[in-house]
């Protein structure tokens, strides 16, 4: 009796992640082509995954996760425990450009309607410069607390001076930026809520 030849091991596919990947990609304001460049996974493959036409292997899912600045366990939600999601300091998503550094304190969960960020402005630096995140979606509202230093806040053509402990709430879909005119570093804590602009 012939012994069947051993079959090569098949890498397990990951459960349907399409809607989650698409939500995370859109939350980062990335096109399919941009995520493809960041992850090394082709745009057509990403499109098929997002539409649920195919399930990525663990290797492909890991590359997609890296393109979204996540660990594979975060993409698969293995780090989540019920209603509680913790973002450790070392796990914050970070960006730094021209004296403006910011960190996202909230987890990258699909459907999340609020985002908390911490911004650090070097002396003379400002937010809203080239390379910073795009203007927020229509209807967005933001509250920013100055936790250290002094800044000038400009919104829709009007300027306001803010000291440590001052907070400002504004329509975040209007042109705006914060500038640090002082000689010391300034730190801001921002809470962005989508779709809450007053009529």
Distance between CA atoms of residues 130 and 116, nearest Å:
21
- Other CB atoms closer than 10 Å to residue 9's CB: what's the count? 6
Distance between CA atoms of residues 87 and 97, nearest Å:
23
User: At which residue do the structure tokens 């499109």 appear?
Assistant: 47
> What is the pTM (predicted TM-score) of this model?
0.57
The predicted pLDDT at position 185 comes to 96
- Which residues in 119-151 are b (16+ Cβ under 10 Å) and which e? bbbeeebbbeeeebeeebeeebbbebebeebeb
The predicted pLDDT at position 2 comes to 47
Greatest alpha-carbon pair distance for the chain in Å reads: 87
The predicted pLDDT at position 197 comes to 45
Which residues lie below 8 Å from residue 53, measured CB to CB, with a gap of 6+? none
Edge-first strand order for the sheet with 158-162 is: 158-162, 151-155, 176-179
pLDDT tens sequence for the chain (199 residues): 444 444 544 444 555 688 888 888 887 888 999 999 999 999 999 999 998 888 888 899 999 999 988 888 778 776 555 567 778 888 888 888 888 888 888 887 665 678 899 999 999 999 976 555 556 777 888 999 999 999 999 988 899 999 999 999 998 888 899 999 999 999 999 998 876 544 3
Give the CA distances from residue 91 to residues 26, 35, 104, 195, in Å, rounded to whole numbers and listed in that order: 20, 20, 9, 27
């Amino acid at each position: 009796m012939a012994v069947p030849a051993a079959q090569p091991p098949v890498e397990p596919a990951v459960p349907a992640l399409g809607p989650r990947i698409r939500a995370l990609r859109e939350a980062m304001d990335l096109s399919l082509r941009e995520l493809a460049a960041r992850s090394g996974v082709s745009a057509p493959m990403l499109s098929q995954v997002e539409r649920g036409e195919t399930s990525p292997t663990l290797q492909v899912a890991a590359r997609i996760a890296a393109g979204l600045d996540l660990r594979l366990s975060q993409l698969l939600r293995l780090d989540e425990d019920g209603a509680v999601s913790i973002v450790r300091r070392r796990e914050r998503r970070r960006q730094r450009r021209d004296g403006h550094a910011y960190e996202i304190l909230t987890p990258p969960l699909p459907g999340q309607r609020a985002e908390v960020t911490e911004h650090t402005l070097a002396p003379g630096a400002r937010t809203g410069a080239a390379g910073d995140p795009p203007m927020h979606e229509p209807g967005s509202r933001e509250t920013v607390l100055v936790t250290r230093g002094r800044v000038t806040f400009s919104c829709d053509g009007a300027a306001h001076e803010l000291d440590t402990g001052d907070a400002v709430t504004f329509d975040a879909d209007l042109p705006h930026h914060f500038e640090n005119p002082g000689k010391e570093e300034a730190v801001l804590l921002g809470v962005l809520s989508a779709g809450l602009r007053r009529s």
